[in-house]
Amino acid sequence: MIPPVLRRSALRVRRDTGFLAAGVPPHLALVPVWSWGATAAAETGNWALVLIAPVALILLGVPVLTAVQRYRHRALLGVDIPRPTPTPERWSWAAVARRLSLTRSWRQLGYHLLLGPLVAALELSVLAVAAAGLVGAITFGWVWALPVGVRQDWFGYATQVPCYTVAGIALLCAVPWMAGAVARTESRFASALLGPSRAQRLQERVEYLAGSRTDLIEAVDAERRRIERDLHDGTQQRLVSLAVNLGLAMATRPDLPGEAREVIAEAHLEAKEAIAELNDLVRGLHPAVLEDRGLDAALSGLAARAPLPVRLRVDLEERAVPAVESVAYFVISEALANVTKHARATRAEVTVRRVGKVLRLNVTDDGLGGADVSAGTGLSGLAKRVGSVDGTFRVSSPVGGPTTIAAELPCER
């Protein structure tokens, strides 16, 4: 039985040496081209060749060699070199110009032309070490197979041959380490030079994240709408119906004993209060009128229901995208709720203005001030919600008031 540690390292050596061996031909492929080019240029004095060669190589050789290297890394080493954003492959002068103008074409050419031979040399030396080690290690064995006379005449086998064998085993022990180091270094260079650049990778990542965030925000909005619909069609209608029936009982049965009437009156009151509370909650989720008539229309109900006088100034010529309207509504709704709960204010003012592509919200009250974004979860939640659409959020609340909450939301994407 082979111990698992040995088996793993044997597998790794086989993988790494296989990978290195497969790397030699593609890495050397351009050597004849460039040595021929250099000699021809030197002999004929025609230096245009030196200029034309890389261009021809970028157009013809580099894509093929890059594909080979990508395949070799994936198949033999399990390393995926991402494909840079694909360019149109149809032949045209514009496509040629674009390909030549890409820095990554020149990076790739650099890899194949200059780094390739260097890497090939490293690969070959690792393979040579492995071969030498193998030969050395078994010297002792095959010398023993020779007739005794030959053995003694040709080799000082008692002294030299064991040295060869020990040296060979030592080399063989070094091979896994060397092969691993060369393979790792090579694949790092290949990823850096053949794959997309860091800037491009980051850009792609940012695009992906921005897209998924937008999707998430839309999903949250859709979920709020769904909950609002469900409550509106279900529980709210049931509660109203309950209150109506209790009202009917009171109106149509004046003959009931006093106690029963009292119980019904109590239940009637409770039902009406439950309706009012649920209405406030559901209205905060996502009012239907916001979708239907926009932010301006939706704010009337919000401001009118606040328990303190609210002055509302809205100046919107066109509607913002739904996600932004939804955030704006939420911010004003929560800000007014905060004013009611904490500020001990006598009045509040809400202004909403669209300036260019930015929606500016301001909620000011004449209360005590001293609100802190880092203290309460309410204000920091608002800041996060505003941040989710790339908006800015500021709170100014000196002790003694007034408190102003200002948010700016970009209306377009």
Partner 1 sequence: MRAVIAEDSVLLRIGLVKVLEMGGFQIAAEVGDGEALLAAVEEHRPELALVDVRMPPGFTDEGVRAAMVIRRRWPRTAVVLLSQYVEERYAADLLATNTSGVGYLLKQRVADVGEFVEAVQRVADGGTALDPQVVAQLLLRRDSDPLDRLTPRERDVLGLMAEGRSNAGIAEALTVSESAVAKHINNIFAKLDLPVIDTDHRRVLAVLRFFGASQA
Tell me the CB-side half-sphere exposure of residue 404, using CA atoms within 13 A: 8
Q: Does 364 bind partner 1 (CB under 8 A)?
A: no
Q: Does 240 bind partner 1 (CB under 8 A)?
A: yes
| 205/222 Cα distance (integer angstroms) | 25
Q: Stretches 57-65, 139-147, 301-309, 321-329: which one binds partner 1 (CB under 8 A)?
A: 301-309
Question: How many residues sit close enough to partner 1 to count as binding (CB under 8 A)?
Answer: 41
Q: Does 15 bind partner 1 (CB under 8 A)?
A: no
Q: Does 276 bind partner 1 (CB under 8 A)?
A: yes
| 339/302 Cα distance (integer angstroms) | 13
CB 89 within 8 A of CB 40: no
The DSSP bridge partners found for residue 403 are 365
Instruction: DSSP for 328-347, please give it.
Output: HHHHHHHHHHHIIIII--S-
Q: Stretches 106-114, 133-141, 154-162, 293-301: which one binds partner 1 (CB under 8 A)?
A: 293-301
CB 316 within 8 A of CB 277: no
CB 141 within 8 A of CB 41: no
CB 54 within 8 A of CB 111: no
Q: Does 271 bind partner 1 (CB under 8 A)?
A: yes
Beta carbon nearer to partner 1, 124 or 308: 308
Beta carbon nearer to partner 1, 49 or 275: 275
| 177/179 Cα distance (integer angstroms) | 6
| 342/368 Cα distance (integer angstroms) | 8
| 135/40 Cα distance (integer angstroms) | 41
Give me the least distance between CB of 199 and partner 1, in Å please.
46
Q: Does 325 bind partner 1 (CB under 8 A)?
A: no
Q: How far is CA 95 from CA 55, 65, 90, 226, 378, in A?
A: 13, 19, 7, 49, 54
Strand 348-355 and strand 310-315: the pairing is parallel
Among 241, 346, 392, 396, binds partner 1 (CB under 8 A): 241
Give me the least distance between CB of 264 and partner 1, in Å please.
12
Give me the least distance between CB of 401 and partner 1, in Å please.
22
Q: Does 265 bind partner 1 (CB under 8 A)?
A: no
Q: Does 238 bind partner 1 (CB under 8 A)?
A: yes
Q: Does 252 bind partner 1 (CB under 8 A)?
A: yes
Give me the least distance between CB of 332 and partner 1, in Å please.
14
Give me the least distance between CB of 340 and partner 1, in Å please.
15
Among 218, 291, 366, 408, binds partner 1 (CB under 8 A): 291
Beta carbon nearer to partner 1, 276 or 375: 276
CB 368 within 8 A of CB 344: yes
Site map (CB under 8 A) of partner 1, residues 116-135, x = contact: --------------------
Q: Which residues bind partner 1 (CB under 8 A)?
A: 229, 232-233, 236-238, 240-241, 243-248, 250-252, 268, 271-272, 275-276, 279, 282-283, 287-289, 291-293, 297-298, 300-301, 303-305, 310-312
